[in-house]
Amino acid sequence: MQATTPVDPRVLDAMLPFYLSRYGNPHSRTHLYGWESDAAVEEARARVASLVGADPREIFFTSGATECNNIAVKGVMRFYRDRRRHVVTTQTEHKCVLDSCRYLQQEGFEVTYLPVRPDGLVDVAQLADAIRPDTGLVSVMAVNNEIGVVQPLEEIGRICKEKGVPFHTDAAQALGKIPIDVNQMGIGLMSLSAHKIYGPKGVGALYLRRRPRIRVEPQMSGGGQERGIRSGTVPTPLVVGFGAACEIAAKEMDYDHRRASVLQQRLLDGIRGQVDDIVINGSMEHRYPGNLNLSFAYVEGESLLMGLKEVAVSSGSACTSASLEPSYVLRALGVEEDMAHTSIRFGIGRFTTEEEVDRAIELTVHQVKKLRDMSPLYEMAKAGIDLKSLSGVGEDISVNHVIVLSRQSASIVHLFTCQVASSQAGN
């Protein structure tokens, strides 16, 4: 439920009239069709604002959280470029934030990429120390899309307010899942997405504080819609769906959270009760329960995924799932490369059933045991052999060492070392 969510049937019901009979352009101000679409857009804007404690005039509709993050990061820094040349963010942000920061670096801006602790949380004291007189923005994700950890937003917001720096948070994974109050948390800019909360794909919203006012340079030229922040015709059906999804989330957030917590515990207990050598990635205390990221020792992650095609799990974020590289988020937590390769992200949502959780447990346990039965490393670990002591060779040896494994029984592993031509010999 991190990559996306199904559209809630109630959301679809709200959207359908604006595809069929109420199809007017909300920017047409001379006839009924335009007026009713405009009224529907403004009602949806109010619903989005209400869910985060904002003024409706502070909500600007976009195509999604990626566009919001680009507007927030690039837009703020470019607007204040004459006196603000520095950004503070973390190493575990979404790719669109990190890539926007790298884009700014090419324009001469400076960026500090803060590390995170092993539990995935940022050190707020370190963040405070990183803020400089020319810092123009602090950007920290609210709920991480890969490991589900919830950052201390209120503390970060307080520090930013004290230092007079706008605080931006990518809240795509947080909206409708944890309580958000932009004023209490000191948030200046916030990126939101509809399809993470059972709304339609293709629409999001940027929260932009009015007092004290934060200005951004628009990233798209056009007709000046959304008060010039985001030009382009507002897609009325999608916006209406976003508003409906926010209204439902406001009513059912507590129930959804409690239910996800129960299902997460069921999933975790079911797997841990049958499989050992499992590591939970990210803080369990500060975590959204709909996200559970596990690493399975002695198992190759891609092979595990191939055996779990029936379950919609992933080895990282959806935007990087095609990459064979280990998750940069897990590497930032200090997870070793072999364990980072074995990580699986399980998502639990509003419509997840106990039967689906039990099926996920069954398939995961079966596949992990199957792969470990074929793993020489697992046999070596069970035999009490320290695998780390086998890595590396002395500096005075100019050949590569290969470990050849042959099992004579289920519990005995014989190790032989042979030499192969070194790379210096042209191999």
Same domain, 173 and 32: yes
Q: Do 71 and 157 share a domain, yes or no? A: yes
Same domain, 296 and 414: no
Contact, 306 vs 358, CB < 8 A?
A: no
**Which residue, 426, 366, 422, 378, is CA-closest to 399?**
422
pLDDT band per the 50, 70, 90 thresholds, residue 422:
very low
Check: CB of residue 116 under 8 Å from CB of residue 327. Answer: no
278 and 343 assigned to the same domain: yes
Residues 16 and 121 in one domain: yes
DSSP codes of every residue in 88-104: EEETTS-HHHHHHHHHH
CB atoms within 10 A of CB 199: 32
b/e for 296-312, b at 16 or more Cβ within 10 A?
Answer: bbbbebeebbebbeebe
Instruction: Convert the pLDDT of each residue in 265-284 to its tens digit.
Output: 999 999 999 999 999 999 99
220 shares a domain with 144: yes
Strand 204-208 and strand 59-62: pairing?
antiparallel
The reply to whether 1 falls in a domain is no
Whether the pLDDT of residue 399 is over 60: the answer is no
- pLDDT tens readout for residues 51-62: 999 999 999 999
The reply to whether 311 and 346 lie within a common domain is yes
Mean pLDDT of 183-190: 98
**Region 241-245: what's the mean pLDDT?**
98
Residue 145 has pLDDT above 50, yes or no: yes
Same domain, 330 and 273: yes
Q: In terms of domains, do 42 and 131 share one?
A: yes
pLDDT band at 286 (very low <50, low <70, confident <90, very high): very high
Residues 52 and 102 both lie in one domain: yes
Q: What is the mean pLDDT of the chain?
A: 89
Domain span holding position 296: 253-379
For 419, list phi and psi in degrees, rounded to 5. Answer: -110, 145
Tokens of 161: 């307010």
pLDDT band per the 50, 70, 90 thresholds, residue 390: low
Q: Is 363 exposed, middle or buried (0-12, 13-18, 19+ CB in 10 A)?
A: middle
In a domain, 123, yes or no: yes
User: For position 400, what pLDDT does the model report?
Assistant: 35
Residues recognised as catalytic: 319
Mean pLDDT over 310-329 rounds to 69
Residue 318 backbone phi and psi in degrees, to 5 = -60, -35
Is the pLDDT confidence value at 417 over 60? no
- 323 pLDDT tier (thresholds 50, 70, 90): low
Antiparallel, parallel or unpaired: β 343-347 and 291-296: antiparallel
Maximal C-alpha separation, the chain: 85
Whether 143 and 278 map to the same domain: the answer is no
73 and 38 within one domain? yes
Higher pLDDT, 206 or 427: 206
Q: Which residues pair with 415 in a beta bridge?
A: 405
CA 343 to chain centre: 15
Residue 309 confidence class, pLDDT cut points 50, 70, 90: confident
Q: Is the pLDDT of residue 406 over 90?
A: no
Q: How far apart are the C-alpha atoms of 272 and 283, rounded to whole Å?
A: 17
* Residue 341: predicted pLDDT: 87
Stated pTM of the model: 0.88
Q: Is 358 part of a structural domain of the chain? A: yes
Partner residues linked to 291 by β-bridges: 347
* pLDDT above 80: residue 424: no
CATH code: domain of residue 327: 3.90.1150.10
Token reading at 135? 């810092």
With bands split at pLDDT 50, 70 and 90, how would you rate the model's confidence at 410? very low
Give the Cα separation of 423 and 427 in Å (integer).
5
Tally of structural domains, the chain: 3
Label residue 337 by pLDDT band (50, 70, 90).
confident
Provide the token pair at 217.
């340079």
